[in-house]
Amino acid sequence: MDKYKNGQNPAAASEKNIQTDFKESMTYGEYLHLDQLLTAQKGVSGHHDESLFIIIHQVSELWMKLILHELRSAIRHIDADDLQPAFKQMARVSKIQSQIIQAWDVLSTMTPAEYMEFRDDLGNASGFQSYQYRMIEFALGYKTKHVLAIYEKDESLHEELLEAFKQPGLYDAAIQKLARSGFAIDPAVLNRDVTAVYETNTSVRKAWEAVYRDVDQYWELYQLAEKLVDIEDWLQQWRFRHMKTVERVIGFKQGTGGSSGVHYLKKVLDQYFFPELWEIRTTI
């Protein structure tokens, strides 16, 4: 006896409207430009594990592109006192960060012996040079002008980074929102040079303390604070997993781009983007 009456698979019959003729319409592959995306893994060594190395970093760069897209929109919404969309975008950033963190688990399947077989072929190319990562730092308020010199080879990219460097960051937007909400914020903070690294300020800490002590009155500001903490927490976890993966694969060797490698990655773990939001955990 046939499994299906009249030899017809019910599942196949239910999908009779599936499009199969794409001579005049756009395909999935065309929409995503998969011909370009899937041929962009051009290694320099021919080693089997170089594909892993390239794909992990390319995927991370795609996620970072989305992080920047969401952060920039969140800043605009905070500036416009429209916090609910900003909360959604900031929450999305945190979820994206969790994906990037898990990518290190895949890369760590590559052993030191395997990486050493093609590491020298990378020359001076290094993840330290990721311009999107620098833009994320800038968007979060961490500004270090000396890194801009890395990108002078590409004039248009250098200009793009310089413009991002000059823009207020996410925390600047949050502090301005505190001021608009009636908190007495030090004018020196409100009018600060946003190209400088943000430094902790007593008036900002007192404002956040007030928010956390009266959550019902300042519910939206409380939500804003917690979304900021989520982003920084996940970023520090990303940095930690990066550092441990590098240590696992190359130990304490110098980075391919000349950085001190693990020593540098350990040092940045001590950086804070939103310092008062961590300080008040002790003071409230």
Six-digit token string for 213: 């002590």
Tell me the Cα Rg of the chain: 24
CA distance readout (Å), 234 to 88, 91, 99, 211, 218:
16, 11, 10, 23, 24
Say whether 256 counts as a known binding-site residue. Answer: yes
With contact defined as beta carbons under 8 Å apart, do 246 and 112 qualify?
no
263 is in an annotated binding site: no
Residue 89 tokens, joined? 């975008």
Residues 149, 83: contact at Cβ < 8 Å? Answer: no
User: Which residues touch 155 (CB under 8 Å, ≥6 apart)?
Assistant: none
CA 124 to chain CA centroid, Å, is 23
DSSP string, 153-179: TSHHHHHHHHHHHTS--HHHHHHHHHH
Does 77 count as an annotated binding residue?
A: no
* 221 within 8 A of 228, measured Cβ to Cβ: no
Annotated binding residue at 136?
no
56 annotated as belonging to a binding site for a ligand: yes
Q: Is 283 labelled a binding residue? A: no
Vertex 166, ends 160 and 168: CA angle to 5°? 120
Task: Say whether 75 counts as a known binding-site residue.
Answer: no
- Between CA 21 and CA 30 the distance in angstroms is 14
54 annotated as ligand-binding = yes
| 91, containing H or E segment | helix 83-107
Give the Cα separation of 228 and 189 in Å (integer): 18
Instruction: Output the known binding site for heme.
Output: 242
Instruction: Output the known binding site for substrate.
Output: 53-57, 115, 119, 256
Instruction: Output the known binding site.
Output: 53-57, 115, 119, 242, 256
